[in-house]
């Protein structure tokens, strides 16, 4: 098994042991282009990061502060995008929410309960996918549900339902090597959704795809999010992608990662990457991001 597959297997099998959290969600109404949230004061945040700091031990016996004093609240059903320069702690932040890392100080709350480890209420999707090449598409999608202990008939019905949602019904019995990159991403998405997590954590999932495939997946993800009402926390280094998808974009500073600014994106949906309003909003954020990228380049070149 490659390290990537080992990581996936670890994540998936940790669910079996992981506690299952209540999946009660705030009431919300969502039409094709409209989202109506209850008044914010009536609803506890779905995910809440309180004064989060995290440092890693380094080889030189020092500590590297990856995240410092992060405060962030994510509403139920929100599509939140996180951007920041490479190395600012974006992946680390998702791993904390997924329960794969432990913060040095502060608290991660999901539905007001402290995260103790991985759980079936949160699912992480990353760029390398971690699909199993020896399993069919259907078996890959069923894998997480099997770990969760769902009976065969339920698994089979859900595999059909979620393959339909990502438009891959006819590839039920194909193997992963027979699919394009975009189709593989959709299998990974179906596998994550099939376990019906409240929160989808996505770590630069489309970074390796060609532009047309990525555009299609943006449309699909936006539609699936609207249909399923999941909370999505989506990490990307691509500001335009963040504005295309997010209700809100959070910009992190270069190391140590701190919240530099939050931007509400209230452009109508569905949005398009090439839309002039999307481009305009992205330009403003990019100006702020550029400062942080310069700091990261300076740090790298003056080492």
List contacts with Mg ion (CB under 5 A).
Answer: 91
By a kind-dependent CB cut-off of 5 to 8 A, residue 64 interacts, out of ligand ADP, Mg ion, none, with: ligand ADP
Q: Based on CB atoms, which residue is closest to ligand ADP, 56 or 175?
A: 56
Question: Which of 91, 103, 185, 231 contacts ligand ADP by CB under 6 A?
Answer: 91
Q: How far is the CB of 77 from ligand ADP (least distance, A)?
A: 25
Establish if 68 lies at the interface with ligand ADP (CB under 6 A): no
Q: Scanning residues 4 to 63, which ones bind ligand ADP (CB under 6 A)?
A: 56
Note the maximum CA span of the chain. 59
Binding mask 237-276 for ligand ADP (x = CB under 6 A): ------------------x---------------------
Question: Which of 8, 48, 68, 92 contacts ligand ADP by CB under 6 A?
Answer: 92
Q: How far is the CB of 17 from ligand ADP (least distance, A)?
A: 22
Establish if 64 lies at the interface with ligand ADP (CB under 6 A): yes
Residue whose C-beta lies closest to Mg ion: 91
Question: Which of 7, 30, 69, 87 contacts ligand ADP by CB under 6 A?
Answer: 87
Q: Based on CB atoms, which residue is closest to ligand ADP, 91 or 120?
A: 91
Residues that bind ligand ADP (CB under 6 A): 56, 64, 66, 84, 86-92, 255
């Amino acid at each position: 098994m490659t390290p990537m597959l080992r990581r996936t297997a670890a994540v998936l099998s940790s669910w079996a042991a992981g506690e299952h959290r209540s999946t009660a969600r705030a009431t919300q109404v969502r039409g094709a282009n409209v989202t109506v949230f209850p008044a914010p004061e009536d609803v506890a945040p779905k995910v809440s990061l309180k004064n989060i700091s995290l440092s890693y031990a380094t080889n030189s016996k020092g500590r590297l502060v990856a995240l410092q004093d992060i405060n962030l609240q994510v509403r139920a059903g929100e599509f939140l995008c996180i951007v920041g320069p490479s190395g600012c702690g974006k992946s680390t932040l998702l791993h904390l929410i997924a329960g794969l890392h432990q913060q040095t100080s502060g608290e991660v709350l999901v539905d007001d309960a402290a995260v103790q480890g991985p759980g079936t209420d949160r699912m992480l999707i990353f760029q390398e996918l971690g699909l199993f090449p020896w399993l069919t598409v259907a078996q890959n999608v069923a894998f997480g549900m099997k770990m969760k202990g769902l009976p065969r008939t339920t698994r089979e019905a859900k595999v059909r339902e979620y393959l339909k949602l990502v438009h891959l019904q006819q590839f039920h019995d194909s193997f992963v090597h027979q699919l394009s990159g975009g189709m593989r991403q959709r299998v990974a998405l179906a596998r994550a959704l099939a376990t019906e997590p409240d929160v989808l954590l996505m770590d630069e999932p489309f970074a390796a795809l060609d532009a047309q495939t990525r555009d299609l997946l943006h449309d699909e993800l936006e539609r699936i999010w609207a249909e399923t009402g999941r909370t999505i926390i989506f990490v990307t280094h691509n500001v335009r992608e963040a504005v295309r998808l997010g209700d809100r974009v959070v910009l992190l500073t270069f190391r140590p990662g701190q919240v530099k600014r939050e931007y509400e994106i209230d452009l109508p949906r569905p949005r398009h990457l090439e839309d002039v309003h999307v481009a305009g909003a992205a330009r403003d954020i990019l100006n702020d991001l550029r400062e942080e990228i310069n700091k990261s380049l300076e740090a790298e070149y003056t080492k």
